[in-house]
Structure 1
Amino acid sequence: MLQDKDIVNDYLNGLNASLKSYAGYISEANNPGLRQTLINLRNGDESRQRTVYSYATQHGFYKPPQTATQQEIQQVQSELSAGQ
């Protein structure tokens, strides 16, 4: 029998996979209506992903990686800015 943790993690993995796919579909959509529909679907999945992620972390089903320090954040921002 599946445990709550397994169900939540499976759903979270599915949402994460669909979010990765939307970027490609949206960028290749020529029809404005289709493009907007895909954007709306992606936005809904992003909202669901955040809700499930919060639930998983609150219940100990998912342990996020260590939080980046302010110095690490600034370093990444500098590197990304330099590449533009």
Structure 2
Amino acid sequence: MQDKDMVNDVLSMVNGSLSGYASAISQTENEQLRQTLQQIRNNDENCQYNLYKVASQKGFYKPASQATSQQIQEIKSQFNA
């Protein structure tokens, strides 16, 4: 397996776990458990960002182009309507 495939697989797994944490956090009533899940999620987000930086530096990942100010305003207006 090539480095690119391994990094992409790990990024995919971390992204999936982040979705799971978001769901669990929103449904957890116990404050201590909620804080623990949030801490785990935060650690995974940091891991994801570090992997993204590695993938980007090695040319494994090319982010989408930056949105224009007009595009940002259009999206904002859709959510504020």
Gaps of 5+ in 1: none
- In the comparison of the two structures, how many residue pairs are matched? 81
TM-score calculated relative to the size of structure 2: 0.92
How far residue 7 of structure 1 moved from its aligned partner, in angstroms, is 0.7
Moved over 3 A (4+): none
Cross-structure match for 1:47: 46
Deviations, residues 45-73 of structure 1 (Å, cap 9, x unaligned): 11111111111011111111222111111
TM-score calculated relative to the size of structure 1: 0.89
Deviations, residues 2-46 of structure 1 (Å, cap 9, x unaligned): 111111111111111111111110011111110000000111111
| Separation of aligned partners in 1, 2:60 and 2:24 | 31
Report the aligned-residue RMSD: 1.0
Gaps of 5+ in 2: none
